[in-house]
Amino acid sequence: MGGTMSPAMHWTNRIKGVAALDSATRTALEAAGRVVAMARGSQIFGPGQTPQNYLLLISGDIRVSQMSESGREIVLYRVLPGESCALTTICLLGGDDYTAEAIAETDIEAVIIPRAAFDDLLVRSPPFRQFVFAAFSHRVTDLFKLIDEIAFQRVDVRLAHKLIERAGGSGELAITHQQLASELGTAREVVSRQLQEFQRRGLIASARGSITLLDSTALARLASDDS
């Protein structure tokens, strides 16, 4: 894991869950941790690499995705400010190498805690152990939801939800059909056909690399359709 590093004094105040820990644990974390700044597009980790640090994100957005043998990418989850990376946690605990890739979608600032310090704190700090496993449990729940969506939910419903989610309040998003396919774990052709149908119905306007939501209300109704 590359990037520009600096001492991490007082970073614990910038992450809500960590700020709530006891002072002894926060002091130990600040002594061991280092703040890392990485540019947009940087690889945080990749398949086959061995994790050396526990990661907590201060600012920015990290995308964690996995590639199938056929070359199809699926976005597993995103790490947002205040969160840890679940895959890093499980690899550190199990002694395994990474099977997925993490990319900085924006410029990021994160704290890395060396493996030895992470292992030590897990043993001697029950509050830190609870913090780590609570975050891990939350992410595993999200992954089960993703599996359920891919297996059982209609593509049009999932696509409508993803468009609304990624557009935020702006009603516009800069994204390609392939990127949407990776987000949904399906083929680009499937997404392209569904976007064409949305455009035919007047729900969106699609241009190369961008999509404008024309009828967010109708898309929201579709996104909530669980039939």
Instruction: Provide the residue-wise pLDDT of the chain in tens; the chain has 227 residues.
Output: 655 544 445 899 888 889 889 999 999 999 999 999 999 999 999 999 999 999 999 999 999 999 877 778 889 999 999 999 999 999 999 999 999 999 999 999 999 999 999 999 999 999 999 999 999 998 888 888 888 878 788 999 999 999 999 888 788 899 999 999 988 888 889 999 999 999 999 999 988 889 999 999 999 999 887 65
Helix, strand or coil, per DSSP, at residue 134 = helix
Q: Report how far apart the first and last C-alpha atoms of the chain are (Å, whole number).
A: 44
Beta strand pairing call for 172-173 and 62-67: unpaired
Q: Please tell me the predicted confidence (pLDDT) of residue 68.
A: 79
Q: Please tell me the predicted confidence (pLDDT) of residue 6.
A: 46
Q: Please tell me the predicted confidence (pLDDT) of residue 156.
A: 93
Tokens 């979608």, located at residue: 105
Identify any residues that bridge with 102 across adjacent strands, giving them in sequence order.
45, 64
Cα–Cα distances in Å, from 1 out to 86, 100, 106, 117?
16, 14, 16, 17
Are 29 and 44 in contact by the 8 Å Cβ rule? The answer is no
Q: Please tell me the predicted confidence (pLDDT) of residue 226.
A: 65
Task: Give the number of other Cβ atoms within 10 Å of residue 147's Cβ.
Answer: 11
Cα–Cα distances in Å, from 35 out to 4, 13, 48, 177?
8, 13, 24, 35
| Separation of alpha carbons 101 and 47, rounded Å | 6
Q: Please tell me the predicted confidence (pLDDT) of residue 142.
A: 85
Cα–Cα distances in Å, from 212 out to 105, 178, 194, 196, 205?
21, 17, 15, 13, 5
